[in-house]
Each structure stands twice: as structure tokens, then as C-alpha cells.
Amino acid sequence: MRRIPSLLVVLAVATAGCATGTPMPRDAALDLSRIELGAPAASEWQPLAAVATAPATTAAPLAPRARPDVGGLWISHVSLLGGGRWLDKNDWSPLEHQLVFGLEIDESYAETGNGYEVGALYAHDEDDLESTTYEVYGGYRYTFGPAEQELHPFVSLGVAASRAELDAGSTDDDTVFGAYARAGLLWDIGDRVRLGVDYRRLFADDYDFDVGGSNVHADADYDQVTLSLGYEF
């Protein structure tokens, strides 16, 4: 019978110990909704109305067409030329209208438009007589507008040496020197290819031919229009 009180004392002490512990609240069950799986903190959430009324980001303006870096700051072309040349009718009839072909190299500095041109021309016509002219030239060229645009007006001034052969039963030739002025328009149709048209005026001394024992003077001045096909290198 003495063991019963002792057992009661032990149970009382155990019960008291459990009473002094922190009881788990009824609502302390596991709440999966409170587990953060990479979601932003509550302070980062914005009302839907605030998002809807936020100003849209302004799109950056389109940049101008970028020119491919082919020759760096120097823009260089090699071009084929073809067109017509008009000489003084009084001196050259019936050879006053001549076909002309040529090859040209030009370079210009992209930032300023300053540059140069050098080339060679071949002109020919024949009827009862025959005339052939070879010309080399070089000079200063200024190209208008930025390198990125497609159309490029230009002007140039230079010097030329022209050698003409005249066949009138007997053949003679003469070489003269002169200066020229030129103006044209170039059009980029691709990253490296361009078309052009230009007008040239040459001012030079007269040719002096000795044909069939006769001394013949012929005006070397001419007007010329050519089309060009250029390739940038």
C-alpha cells in the first residue's frame, strides 16, 4: 500500500514538468503556403494598378546605317568607266563624237570627304578617218556628305596628259597637257558596290598633226559624260 502514494508523487511531478513546457498552439500545424520557393519578399510585390500605370520604356532611336569597315577611315574604290566624248566639230568632224572607256582608282577620307583620283581613259572613233586617244589623269576630289549615306555628290580638279593618234591615209600622233574639272553623283547599291555618273571638261593645248605633208591643228578640249561601276576594297 505504501507504493501507491509514491507512484502518485511521481505522476504528479511528471505532470508538473509537462505543464511548465511551452505548449504547441492549435494553429501551429505545418503551413505550406508560408514556405518561400524563390518568390519575392512581400515588400517587392506591387499592386496591379501600379504596374498597369507605369510608363512604358521609350525605345531607342534607330542608328544610321553602319558602313562596313572595309578600308578603315579611308574609303577606296576601283571603278570601270564608259560613256561618250564630244570634241570641237570644226576641228574633228566626222570624228567629233567618240566612245570612251576607262579605269579609275579613288580614295577619300571618311571624316572630311577630302581625297584624290587617278585613272586612264581610252577614246576612239572612225569613219573615213580614224582617231584614238589615250589619257592619264590625276587630281583632288571632294566628296559631300557622311560616309553612311547612300548618295555621294563629288567634285574634282586635276591635270591630264593626252596622246592622240590621227589616221588620215598617213598616221601621226601628238601629246598635250591640260587641266580638267569634274562633277558627279555616286550611289551605293551595296556594302561595296556603287554606281555613278559624272561630267568632265578638259582644257588643253591643241594637237599638232603632220598628215600627208600637211600640218593639222585640232582642239584637244572636250566635254565628256561617263557612267561608272565601282567596287570598294
- Please determine, looking at this structure, whether the domain spanning 74-232 carries the CATH number 2.40.160.20: yes
Q: Are 201 and 65 spatial neighbours (Cβ–Cβ below 8 Å)?
A: no
Domain range summary for the chain, segments of one domain joined by +: 74-232
Nearest alpha-carbon partner for 106 in 81, 157, 140: 140
Q: What is the DSSP string of 36-84?
A: -SSPPPGGG---HHHHHHSPPPPPPPPPPPPPP-SSTTEEEEEEEEEEE
Q: Are 201 and 223 spatial neighbours (Cβ–Cβ below 8 Å)?
A: yes
- 71/108 Cα distance (integer angstroms): 10
Residue by residue, pLDDT tens for the chain (233 residues) are: 444 445 444 444 444 454 444 444 444 444 545 545 554 454 454 554 554 455 555 555 544 444 545 556 899 999 999 999 999 999 999 999 999 999 999 999 999 999 999 999 999 999 888 999 999 999 999 999 888 889 999 999 999 999 999 998 888 999 999 999 999 999 999 989 999 999 999 999 999 998 878 888 899 999 999 999 999 99
